[in-house]
């Protein structure tokens, strides 16, 4: 039986403010709060809420016969928390239906998978914890930023414990193969690969309202009929897109919501089901390995990473940012970590793109790719200075990691001793109370209480002492 795997991505661009060269060293806040609030409020009103309300109606009307998957970037979640919490509340309501799966992805929606394995692993694990916090789900399937995938990235995803991973059903990778089967990673058969059907996905997300398109107007019954009339042995159809395609790329006036609502009804009439990515990975068998030696994505006609790293400006900015990846990870400073997440986001590099594309690049405050590059490099200059100022620059990464490990170990030891002191203190108080009671029974006056003082040393204080000593 054929099944549809419907998936939506939710990510919000975090806009940087105009940051001059002379701001370096004096201004450590990099973001345009007004623009961030304006854009996410607009998207929530025009796209996210109408789309999610419609999906809620589809679940109510079709029950377990309709299922859908989402993934949210950590950057997107934090912006929703600030400016559109109603979106997160609606997602939690959908989660309660049992018909929704939430996938893992890098917290930053960045390109760490192309730069630093440890950074990528930390990025994904951080988002997994965020999904657990909000939806009480432990993601089993990974979706990398921009559906970026290669054999090496797949191997790492498998090592992180994921059952499956979404990626693009690109022609130059598939060749004669069909995207409508489940494949597995060439370097680790345990990781299943769910491929996006480019045509079926783009018919909705890119072409639906285009009156010049030969397939216009697109109706749900015709759309489902194309799936039903495909070879009977085909397994599943991955329809993946950004949620903002509904309401932003394809305006609500195009009747996109009515089209969506009709999909489960038409699918049921044709004997086609809906499944979540984990269900696909669990119930279906892989038909073979998919070799992807070079990195692919769902961006542009080339389906590669050239929209982010295709010119010297982008590569220089990328190399500069990830030159401090290990130091950021080792130092683990909360304020630095937050900026690190935001500065990794793919849109920072996309704004610098100079490649010709059929889709216009909205550069926000920037007048050109060079303007975006200059502003970003000014921000990165200040950020790297802050990272290096956390600890003396002459301390290399290996020495710094050793130092901080020693601090953490000593802090853990002090914490254990503090707990032991508290335990013994409670024991002493219990003995003294029993002794006083015994004296009262014998007609004697109770002895003066000798309560032990609480320990003054703390883990934080110990860390400061060790740091000061090492710095000397």
Residue 32 in 3-state DSSP? coil
Confidence label for 317 from pLDDT (cuts 50, 70 and 90): very high
DSSP 8-state code for residue 389: H
Residue 69 main-chain phi, psi, to 5 deg: -125, 150
Distance from C-alpha of 207 to C-alpha of 199, rounded to nearest angstrom: 10
> Which carries the bigger pLDDT value, residue 82 or residue 418?
82
Residue 233 in 3-state DSSP? coil
Position 128 scores a pLDDT of 96
Q: What percent of the chain has pLDDT over 70?
A: 88
Q: What is the mean pLDDT of residues 400-421?
A: 66
Q: Are 292 and 186 in contact (CB under 8 A)?
A: yes
Which tokens go with 406?
């020693």
Tens digit of pLDDT for each residue in 28-58? 999 999 999 999 999 999 999 999 999 999 9
Does 461 score more than 50 pLDDT?
no
User: Facing residues of 237 across strands?
Assistant: 4
Q: Are 110 and 346 in contact (CB under 8 A)?
A: yes
Distance from C-alpha of 372 to C-alpha of 365, rounded to nearest angstrom: 8
Position 452 scores a pLDDT of 47
Position 331 scores a pLDDT of 81
Tens digit of pLDDT for each residue in 137-195? 999 999 999 999 999 999 999 999 999 999 999 999 999 999 999 999 999 999 999 99
Which tokens go with 4?
């549809």
List of residues 6+ apart from 256 with CB closer than 8 A:
204, 208, 209, 246, 247, 250
Helix crossing, 198-205 with 220-228: angle to 10°?
180
Q: Are 19 and 288 in contact (CB under 8 A)?
A: no
Distance from C-alpha of 76 to C-alpha of 84, rounded to nearest angstrom: 10
Residue 85 in 3-state DSSP? helix
Confidence label for 401 from pLDDT (cuts 50, 70 and 90): low
pTM of the predicted model as reported, rounded to 2 decimal places: 0.82
Position 469 scores a pLDDT of 41
Confidence label for 326 from pLDDT (cuts 50, 70 and 90): confident
Rounded to the nearest integer, the mean pLDDT of the chain is: 89
Contacts for 437-443: CB closer than 8 Å, 24+ residues apart: none
Q: What percent of the chain has pLDDT over 90?
A: 76
Tens digit of pLDDT for each residue in 230-278? 998 998 999 999 999 999 999 999 999 999 999 999 999 999 999 999 9
Distance from C-alpha of 96 to C-alpha of 135, rounded to nearest angstrom: 9
């Amino acid at each position: 039986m054929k099944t549809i795997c419907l998936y939506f991505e939710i990510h919000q661009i975090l806009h940087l403010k105009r940051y001059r060269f002379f701001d370096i060293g004096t201004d450590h806040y990099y973001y345009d709060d007004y623009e961030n609030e304006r854009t996410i409020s607009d998207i929530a009103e025009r796209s996210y809420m109408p789309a999610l309300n419609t999906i809620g109606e589809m679940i109510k009307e079709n029950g377990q016969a309709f299922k859908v998957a989402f993934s949210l970037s950590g950057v997107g979640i934090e912006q929703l928390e600030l400016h559109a919490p109603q979106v997160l509340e609606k997602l939690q309501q959908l989660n309660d239906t049992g018909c929704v799966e939430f996938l893992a992805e890098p917290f930053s929606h960045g390109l760490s998978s192309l730069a630093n394995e440890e950074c990528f692993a930390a990025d994904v694990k951080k988002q997994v914890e965020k999904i657990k916090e909000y939806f009480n789900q432990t993601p089993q399937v990974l979706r990398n930023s921009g559906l970026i995938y290669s054999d090496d990235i797949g191997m790492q995803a498998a090592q992180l414990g994921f059952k499956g991973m979404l990626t693009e059903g690109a022609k130059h990778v598939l060749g004669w193969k069909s995207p409508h089967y489940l494949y597995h990673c060439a370097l680790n058969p345990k990781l299943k690969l769910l491929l996006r059907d480019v045509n079926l996905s783009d018919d909705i997300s890119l072409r639906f309202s285009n009156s010049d398109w030969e397939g216009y107007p697109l109706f749900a019954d015709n759309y489902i009929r194309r799936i039903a009339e495909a070879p009977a042995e085909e397994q599943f159809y991955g329809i993946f897109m950004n949620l903002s395609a509904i309401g932003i790329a394809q305006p609500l006036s195009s009747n996109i919501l009515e089209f969506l609502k009709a999909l489960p009804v038409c699918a049921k009439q044709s004997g086609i089901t809906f499944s979540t990515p984990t269900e696909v990975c669990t119930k279906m068998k892989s038909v073979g390995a998919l070799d992807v030696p070079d990195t692919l994505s769902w961006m542009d006609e080339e389906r590669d990473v050239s929209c982010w790293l295709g010119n010297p400006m982008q590569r220089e900015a990328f190399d500069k940012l990830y030159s401090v990846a290990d130091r950021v990870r080792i130092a683990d400073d909360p304020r630095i970590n937050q900026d690190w997440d935001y500065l990794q986001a793919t849109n920072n590099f996309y704004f610098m793109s100079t490649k010709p594309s059929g889709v216009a690049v909205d550069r926000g405050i920037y007048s050109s790719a060079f303007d975006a590059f200059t502003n970003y490099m000014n921000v990165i200059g200040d950020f790297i200075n802050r990272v290096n100022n956390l600890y003396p620059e002459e301390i290399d990464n290996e020495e710094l990691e050793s130092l901080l490990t020693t601090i953490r170990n000593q802090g853990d030891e002090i914490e254990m001793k503090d707990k032991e002191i508290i335990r013994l203190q409670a024991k002493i108080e219990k003995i003294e109370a029993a002794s006083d009671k015994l004296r009262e029974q014998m007609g004697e006056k109770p002895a003066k209480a000798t309560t032990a003082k609480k320990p003054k040393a703390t883990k934080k204080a110990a860390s400061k002492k060790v740091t000061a000593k090492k710095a000397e």
